Amino acid sequence: MKTSQTLTLLFLTLASCLRAELVLSPGLTFVMEGGVLDAGNIANTGTAFAKDLIGGGAYAPTHTIPNVNNGSYGNGSSWIGDSAGSYVGIGFSSSQTIASFAFGRDNTNALLDRSAGTYTIQTTSDSDPATNHASVSWTTIGTLSLFSGTGVVASSAKRHQYNIDTPVSATGLRIIAPDGAAIDEIEIMTSASPTSVGPVTINTSPGFIVAWDGNDGDNFNAAGIVPDNLALASNGAVAISSGDLGPLIFVPFHRAHNLNDGHYGNANSWIGDGAGPTLFASVILPSVHEITSIAFGRDNGLDEANGDCCGGQLRDRSGGTYLIQRTLNGVAWQTVGTVTFNYLQDDIPGGGFTPHLRHEFELGDESGGVDALGMRLVTPNADTAIDEIELTGTPGIDPDPDGDGYFSNVEIALGYNPNDSASNPEGNPDIELALEFSFYASSRKSYRIESTIDQMTWNLVENNIAGTGGEIRRCYFQHPGDPIRSYRAVALP
């Protein structure tokens, strides 16, 4: 009986995308992007084979079967199949240990097309796989995916290398490629690379501790309810951000107050306005506390009761490096450490790493927790989303050190000095202009509200509004300097 093993890889990305997001199942570990031929590559000692070749070889020497192990990168030295389910591989005359592998569409990065789809990596112990490649069964040992987004890789088309956590013994390896995909080089290594990258990378500043115990999506629930913690607005904490997307697109969410409103989900999340050199989301506490952990995520629950939008739970806007910072006075910020979300392992809470779910990180210094009046996350991208920041710890000093009756976090949020009793928001009312929009809605229909500033492009404001058989009213804030915006109600089909 012939033995074999299979590795399935999935690349789902726009061919023209310059940034990609890696999804890697447990059992495989990302090593690197790009680079040169590995010194331990044995693929060039084997024989290349394939199911077929584009045009039956009419595009040789640009596209040929031997190109995949000739030691050259680029479209001009690549293979492309000629049918659905086409494959290309390397056969050896004797069994080899396969501990690491690499391949790509074009490691020169000149062409970014022909890299989307599902790839299946298979190994076999057949005595002559270069001849018998169509007669062997294959068994899956892992999956790998690339999506449009942000993460540890910059181009889906370039060479990517992966370690197999449990190396296999085989006489051949083949890649079943999506229809029309191109592969410029296959590399096979008998030893795993020592420089692999895990799904999460943590770096700490001197004197601090940042630790992750593998928790993934704790407290995930369809209702999107956040458990009690120090950062909640209901406990006196105030959320402050570098800027909010919500007011720019005239929606009531994607604002700073969503960072500690006690609800998970996209419709209760913050997204920044993309402006300024430092993009951040922060929570200021009523007083200095000894913080022992911080938790955050992009979308840890559907929050269906509060009208979550965009198809339910979202997995975008979460990859990259976050700076975890603390402040003792609301002005100066110190970096405790960084956490980098490199790639996704699965979509299951509690399984492998899932970047868009909630993750809790333990914090500390040489004496215990991290003393802080507030904590903030400097985000990796202009469009990063965070649905909730959670903090645990113990109380510290007086929340009102200047004795003016206003908590320090409130004064800081409003631009006052928390240590000067004469500097406070007493007698400082605030008036905001608002526009009231109303329409009559049939009880047998649902509606959406859209807005525009040019009468041409209409943007979604609110969706799935159930008709009442009467009038529906909405109030939208009109901030100084905002463009004049028109609204309309559209019945859903």
Q: What digits encode the pLDDT tens for the residues 310-328?
A: 656 787 888 889 999 999 9
The pLDDT assigned to 298 comes to 94
| CA distances in angstroms from 76 to 60, 107, 117, 311, listed in the order given | 9, 11, 21, 42
| Residue linked to tokens 């989900």 | 265
Top-confidence residue, 21 or 369: 369
Q: How many residues does the chain have?
A: 493
| Residue linked to tokens 């990302």 | 30
Top-confidence residue, 83 or 309: 83
Alpha carbon distance 197, 199 (integer Å): 7
The pLDDT assigned to 277 comes to 82
| HEC per residue, 258-274 | HHHCCECCHHHCEECCC
Tell me, what amino acid is at 286? P
Mean pLDDT of 156-172: 93
pLDDT at position 425 over 70: yes
pLDDT tens, residue by residue, 336-363: 999 999 888 887 888 889 999 999 999 9
| HEC per residue, the chain | CCCEEEEEEEECCCCCCCCEEEEECCCEEEEEECCCCCCCECHHHCEEEECCCHHHHCCCCCECCHHHHCCCCCHHHEEECCCCCCEEEEEEEEEEEEEEEEEECCCCCCCCCCCCEEEEEEEECCCCHHHHCCCCCCCECCCEEEEECCCCECCCCCCEEEEEEEEEEEEEEEEECCCCCEECEEEEECCCCCCCECCEEEEECCCEEEECCCCCCCCCCCCCECCCCCCCHHHCCEEEECCCCHHHHCCCCCCHHHHHCCECCHHHCEECCCCCCCCEEEEEEEEEEEEEEEEEECCCCCCHHHCCCCCCCCCCCCCEEEEEEEECCCCCCEEEEEEEECEECCCCCCCCCCCCCCEEEEEEECCECEEEEEEEEECCCCCCEECEEEEEEEECCCCCCCCCCCCHHHHHHHCCCCCCCCCCCCCCCCCCCEEEEEEECCCCCEEEEEEECCCCCCEEEEEEEECCCCEEEEEEECCCCCCCCEEEEEECC
The pLDDT assigned to 17 comes to 32
CATH entry 2.60.120.260 includes domain 200-397: yes
Mean pLDDT of 407-411: 77
Strands 208-211 and 446-452: unpaired
Percent pLDDT > 70 in the chain is 89
Alpha carbon distance 25, 144 (integer Å): 6
Mean pLDDT of 14-23: 48
Lowest mean pLDDT among 19-33, 167-181, 188-202: 19-33
Alpha carbon distance 445, 245 (integer Å): 30
Strands 280-297 and 238-241: antiparallel
pLDDT at position 184 over 60: yes
Strands 459-466 and 446-452: antiparallel
Four-residue CA torsion sign, 218, 222, 224, 227: negative
Q: How confident is residue 120, by pLDDT bands cut at 50, 70 and 90? A: confident
| Residue linked to tokens 């402040």 | 327
Top-confidence residue, 427 or 149: 427
Residue 257 is classified by DSSP as G
Quote the mean pLDDT of the chain. Answer: 87
Top-confidence residue, 73 or 420: 73
pLDDT at position 3 over 60: no
The pLDDT assigned to 397 comes to 65
The pLDDT assigned to 16 comes to 28
For 241, half-sphere exposure in the C-beta direction (CA atoms, 13 angstrom radius) is 29
According to DSSP, the residues that pair with 241 across neighbouring strands are 281
Top-confidence residue, 372 or 154: 372
Alpha carbon distance 283, 239 (integer Å): 4
For 366, half-sphere exposure in the C-beta direction (CA atoms, 13 angstrom radius) is 3
The CATH code belonging to domain 4-189 is 2.60.120.260
Mean pLDDT of 476-481: 70
Beta strand segments in 1-46, E: 4-11, 20-24, 28-33
Mean pLDDT of 156-184: 93
Lowest mean pLDDT among 145-149, 156-160, 328-332: 145-149
Contact 323, 317 (CB under 8 A): no
**CA-based Rg of the chain, rounded to a whole angstrom?**
27
Contact 221, 350 (CB under 8 A): no
Q: Phi and psi for 320 in degrees, rounded to 5?
A: 115, -170
pLDDT at position 9 over 60: no
The pLDDT assigned to 6 comes to 39
Mean pLDDT of 291-301: 95
Contact 4, 136 (CB under 8 A): yes
Alpha carbon distance 254, 248 (integer Å): 10
pLDDT at position 334 over 80: yes
Q: Which of 370-374, 403-407, 439-443, 454-458 has the highest mean pLDDT?
A: 370-374
pLDDT at position 1 over 70: no
The pLDDT assigned to 8 comes to 40
Alpha carbon distance 303, 309 (integer Å): 9
pTM for the whole structure: 0.68
Mean pLDDT of 287-311: 78
Q: Which of 30-39, 148-157, 289-298, 464-473 has the highest mean pLDDT?
A: 289-298
Contact 314, 266 (CB under 8 A): yes
